[in-house]
A and B are shown apart, each in its own frame.
Chain A
């Protein structure tokens, strides 16, 4: 899981800032100095994970989004492939910032599994939570950000 190697680039920060509607002029100026990435920018390190499961792979034929059919996933013959599939959602996200994340940094990530637990919910049935902790370090091995992510798989779609 430590295959991520992410160069922190100005143009990537600009695109990220646009997508969250952040008008801070520092993200759009030409110069790189003193540009500290937005607080959730490190999430886009997914771009640099060659195996990231939420990105269709070049030449891959098993992407689970729709094409001709509602899902391109080859049927596994069992389980949750039908309506109301068990679906992973993001439940919590926490960041601890040890040093500012700056343009020019080259970040590597190490993921450690965390706790897992279950809970009953009126809106979505049985909830299975699992936590992962990722340590992001710069090119000098210094810890920059510790991220704790909690995912939840719901028994049925969340009622709204």
Chain B
């Protein structure tokens, strides 16, 4: 858990959340989550029917990987909110870095909360996720 006297507005935390994303990891996510949309594992369908250059990652895989950066930063069981927009697709071979920035620290109903802005970018600097989170602070 973040400590009130150890954080300030403007603090950032970054993590490389995946390096050279493998198609097999996308398949692992499909199996664990139960989302077997062929767009994520079926190249033939994705090219010939959907009209994309090939399979791409589930948005929820990117959100899940971004979420591990977040829990590594704020601790387990401290999140009150976590939300994202998927701004660009993530492809096999992509390397992603995710950054959390504390944008506010406030008291609410007897709790101290950190408001956090989230951004995940690929190796070309393209933003694939923007989001926000609220975490309890100790």
Contacts and interface: CB of A to CB of B under 8 A. Distances in A.
Interface of A: 12, 15-16, 18-22, 24, 26, 36, 38-40, 43-44, 46-47, 52, 54-56, 64-66, 70-71, 81, 83-85, 87, 89-97, 100, 148, 156-158, 160
B68 interface: yes
Given A38-B67, A157-B52, A18 B28 contact: yes
B86 A65 contact: no
Interface of B: 17-18, 25, 28-29, 31-39, 41-42, 44-45, 47-53, 58-61, 63-65, 67-68, 70-72, 76-77, 79-86, 88-89
A24 B120 CA distance: 20
Contacts, number: 151
B50 A85 contact: yes
A93 B33 CA distance: 15
Contacts of A54: 34-37
B64 A85 contact: no
Given A92-B85, A95-B83, A46 B64 contact: no
A141 B63 CA distance: 27
B59 A90 contact: yes
